[in-house]
Amino acid sequence: MQVAIGKNGRPVAVQIETRSGSIHAKVWRVKVGRCDLFLLDSDVEDNAPDDRGLTSRLYGGDARTRIRQELLLGVGGFRALKAMGITPGVLHLNEGHSGLPCWKRFAAAWRKKALASRSPCPVSPAKSSSPPTLPSPPVMIASMPISSKSILDLCVTASAFPRKPDGPRTREARRLPGNFLHDRARPQTLAPRQRRLRPPRRSLPRHVDWPLPGKPEDEVPIGHITNGVHVPSWLAPQMFRLYDRHLGTNWHQHSSEAKIWEGIENVDDGELWETHLSLKSQLLEFVRRRAVEQARRRSESRESLQRLGSVLSPDALTIGFARRFATYKRANLILSDIESLASMVNDPKRPVQFVFAGKAHPHDEPGKKVCSRLPN
């Protein structure tokens, strides 16, 4: 990891102005394969104590912390790229966390008189658990050649468009009583409204439940992208060595090429199965050990600890769910048909068992409820 150097030959530093003081960050450059990864670091002397920890953890803190993180990522990230002489052709925005760089790009394009339409910003529709707030207009639109009302129109949520009892949502009563900005302006709505493409994270299900205000679902273009993994750090060492023997030691550098996988036919079924069982055994032992540790912290009985020490069968099909317990990830979907679930887990000839791991955001009450409803 190295300090990122700007066009002027000096280390890159960014500053974002806010109502309660500026946020500062230095920038690190990490080489990941053939790609450059740039990291914003708020742990600098110019920052207030609360701001120095903004980049230490994503999911945590109050509404003020979260929006300052989004300012640092969106506005600060855009300024960092500019300082290094990087002009992105496309911005891929992950959720609402990074909905703000489009504003900076909009302003830059306007100043160059190159703005013909809204900036093309692909985004992911995964729902963020961040608080439903945005900075006040004076902070974000100081350099914007459009009115605060226009910006609020971009941020308005679907709930601000009431659905008539016998009809679709309409645009009458767009403004609701009370503090509109605090209650209704959301980065999760801002990001999709500035896009040209809106791909969800996976191809299934095709149905998504986040239509934009005033837009029929069939008018919202939906594509999909596929999540990837970093093979060298994701694949177990035992399986890696197996592939080395049959695919060649540099196979992982060409894993996207179909030809490299022709050697998979040479892998002996017994060797593959033995490797799989070894890894499965390690997984089950790990789960048992963690389950006992957690039960001991809860001061559960000795009988309960003994039961957890031998839970899970090596002979059962094991299905894992290890993710953050946000409601849209649907960890409890399997509970929607209890009879089918009971039939699967109680089948003596084809036993199935499930392992759930993860937790909800501290402020995500619905997510915590999903977690609490899963059987132990």
Side-chain-side CA neighbours of 312 within 13 Å: the count stands at 25
What b/e readout covers 297-324, taking b as 16+ CB neighbours within 10 angstroms? eeeeeeebeeebeeebeeebebeebeee
Q: Which phi-psi region, left, alpha or beta, contains residue 107 (left: φ > 0; alpha: ψ -120 to 50)?
A: alpha
One domain for residues 44 and 129:
no
Which of 206, 227, 248 is the last residue in one of the domains? 227
One domain for residues 142 and 222:
yes
The candidate with the shortest Cα–Cα distance to 190, out of 111, 59, 105, 97, is: 97
Would residue 7 count as lying in a domain?
A: yes
One domain for residues 216 and 135:
yes
Per-residue pLDDT reduced to its tens digit, 255-295: 888 999 998 998 999 999 999 999 999 999 999 999 999 99
One domain for residues 120 and 83:
no
One domain for residues 221 and 322:
no
For residues 14 and 4, the answer to whether their CB atoms sit within 8 Å is no
Q: What is the pLDDT of residue 174?
A: 39
What tokens appear for 201 in the block? 């994270």
Q: How would you class 190 by CB atoms within 10 Å of its CB: exposed for 0-12, middle for 13-18, buried for 19 or more?
A: buried
Domain count within the chain = 3
Q: Can you spell out the DSSP letters for 241-306?
A: HHHHHHH-TTGGGGTT-GGGGGGGGGS-HHHHHHHHHHHHHHHHHHHHHHHHHHHHHTT--HHHHH
One domain for residues 62 and 157:
no
Would residue 190 count as lying in a domain?
A: yes
One domain for residues 169 and 214:
yes
Would residue 109 count as lying in a domain?
A: no
309 CA to centre of own chain: 34
Q: What is the pLDDT of residue 90?
A: 76
First-to-last alpha carbon distance for the chain, in angstroms, is 42
The candidate with the shortest Cα–Cα distance to 100, out of 63, 69, 57, 126, is: 69
Q: Which domain holds residue 373?
A: 315-376
Would residue 354 count as lying in a domain?
A: yes
Q: What is the pLDDT of residue 171?
A: 39
For residues 103 and 187, the answer to whether their CB atoms sit within 8 Å is no
Per-residue pLDDT reduced to its tens digit, 65-107: 888 888 888 888 889 999 999 988 777 776 656 666 666 665 6
Which of 168, 198, 227 is the last residue in one of the domains? 227
Q: What is the pLDDT of residue 71?
A: 85
Would residue 253 count as lying in a domain?
A: no
> 27-35, long-range: CB within 8 Å, 24+ apart, which pairs?
27/3, 27/80, 27/83, 27/84, 28/1, 28/2, 28/3, 28/4, 29/1, 29/2, 29/3, 29/4, 29/5, 30/1, 30/2, 32/230
Q: What is the pLDDT of residue 6?
A: 94
Q: What is the pLDDT of residue 70?
A: 83
One domain for residues 126 and 45:
no
One domain for residues 135 and 184:
yes
Would residue 149 count as lying in a domain?
A: yes
Would residue 295 count as lying in a domain?
A: no
Would residue 308 count as lying in a domain?
A: no
Can you give the pTM of this predicted structure?
Answer: 0.60
Question: Which residue numbers in the chain have pLDDT < 70?
Answer: 59-60, 94-226, 376
Q: How far apart are CA 164 and CA 121, in angstroms?
A: 32
Stated as kind and residue range, the H or E segment containing 39 is: strand 35-41
